[in-house]
């Protein structure tokens, strides 16, 4: 059973990730798993917190003037759920997220969203550094293939796995949706 002090933290579940701008993506089922988590947390009465990325680059699909800035339908916030907006990778920077968690006496975060090795990882690492316990739900996250410093493309599945491996044990526990839902 998850303690009552646990919140679901959805990172950057926005339409921009469907844009071909990003290239090849892994885990096409991430949105379905996010929807399952969201439904379970809402039904159990656990807090749900959404984070939205507002890119400063006007050419980014995540820029506030672009349609990609909108939330994905599977992760649409309710009017009663907190939404924090950021323009950097970690959800704690430039937002009131930490203060909100402390005010609500939330000390555990279940983290899902986009993208695994950027904003999800940065947020999980910072959560740990700030004293929060974190679980990253591996099949409710996704990433893209990126070019490494040597000019070679690293496949999305590899980056996803390495990003999760770096988090597991040191910064967060990494679980699948089914395992997490068994605790809600």
Work out whether strand 82-86 and strand 48-53 pair parallel, antiparallel, or are unpaired: parallel
Catalytic residue among 51, 90, 119, 159: 119
**Residue 67 token pair:** 């349609």
Work out whether strand 6-11 and strand 48-53 pair parallel, antiparallel, or are unpaired: parallel
Contact 52, 86 (CB under 8 A): yes
Q: Which residues pair with 1 in a beta bridge?
A: none
Provide the sign of the torsion angle of the four alpha carbons 159, 161, 162, 164, taken in this order: positive
Q: What CA–CA distance (Å, rounded) separates 137 from 11?
A: 12
Residues in CB range of 156: below 8 A, 6 or more apart: 24, 25, 26, 27, 142, 143, 144, 145
Is there a catalytic annotation at residue 119? yes
What is the separation of C-alpha 8 from the centre of its chain, rounded to a whole number of angstroms?
Answer: 9
What Å distances lie between residue 63 and 44, 58, 76, 94, 105, CA to CA?
34, 6, 18, 17, 32
**Catalytic residues, which ones?**
119
């Amino acid at each position: 059973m998850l303690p009552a002090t646990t919140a679901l933290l959805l990172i950057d579940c926005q339409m921009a990730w469907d844009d071909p701008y990003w290239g090849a993506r892994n885990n096409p089922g991430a949105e379905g798993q996010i929807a399952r988590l969201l439904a379970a947390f809402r039904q159990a009465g656990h807090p749900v917190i959404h984070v939205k990325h507002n890119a400063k680059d006007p050419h980014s699909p995540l820029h506030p003037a672009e349609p990609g800035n909108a939330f994905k339908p599977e992760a649409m916030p309710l009017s009663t759920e907190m939404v924090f907006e950021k323009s950097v990778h970690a959800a704690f920077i430039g937002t009131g997220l930490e203060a909100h968690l402390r005010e609500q006496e939330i000390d555990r975060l279940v983290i899902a969203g986009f993208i695994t090795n950027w904003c999800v990882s940065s947020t999980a690492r910072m959560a740990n550094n700030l004293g929060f316990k974190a679980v990253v739900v591996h099949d409710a996250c996704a990433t893209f293939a990126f070019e490494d410093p040597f000019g070679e493309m690293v496949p999305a599945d590899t980056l996803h796995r390495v990003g999760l491996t770096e988090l597991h044990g040191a910064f967060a526990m990494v679980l699948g949706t089914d395992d997490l839902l068994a605790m809600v």
